[in-house]
Amino acid sequence: GENVEQHPSTLSVQEGDSAVIKCTYSDSASNYFPWYKQELGKGPQLIIDIRSNVGEKKDQRIAVTLNKTAKHFSLHITETQPEDSAVYFCAAREGNTPLVFGKGTRLSVIA
Partner 1 sequence: ETGVTQSPTHLIKTRGQQVTLRCSSQSGHNTVSWYQQALGQGPQFIFQYYREEENGRGNFPPRFSGLQFPNYSSELNVNALELDDSALYLCASVYSEGLVTDTQYFGPGTRLTVL
In angstroms, give the least distance from the CB of 57 to partner 1.
Answer: 13
In angstroms, give the least distance from the CB of 85 to partner 1.
Answer: 16
Confirm or reject binding of residue 8 to partner 1 (CB under 8 A). no
The pairing of strands 105-110 and 10-14 is parallel
Confirm or reject binding of residue 95 to partner 1 (CB under 8 A). yes
Contact pick of 25, 35, 73, 89 for partner 1 (by CB under 8 A): 89
Question: DSSP strand E in 1-111: where?
Answer: 4-7, 10-14, 19-25, 32-38, 45-51, 56-59, 62-67, 72-77, 86-92, 100-101, 105-110
- CB 6 within 8 Å of CB 21: yes
Site string for partner 1, 33-72 (x = CB under 8 A): -x-x----xxxxxx--x-----------------------
Residue 8: its H or E element: none
Confirm or reject binding of residue 10 to partner 1 (CB under 8 A). no
* Residues in contact with partner 1 by the rule CB under 8 A: 6, 32, 34, 36, 41-46, 49, 89, 91, 93, 95-104
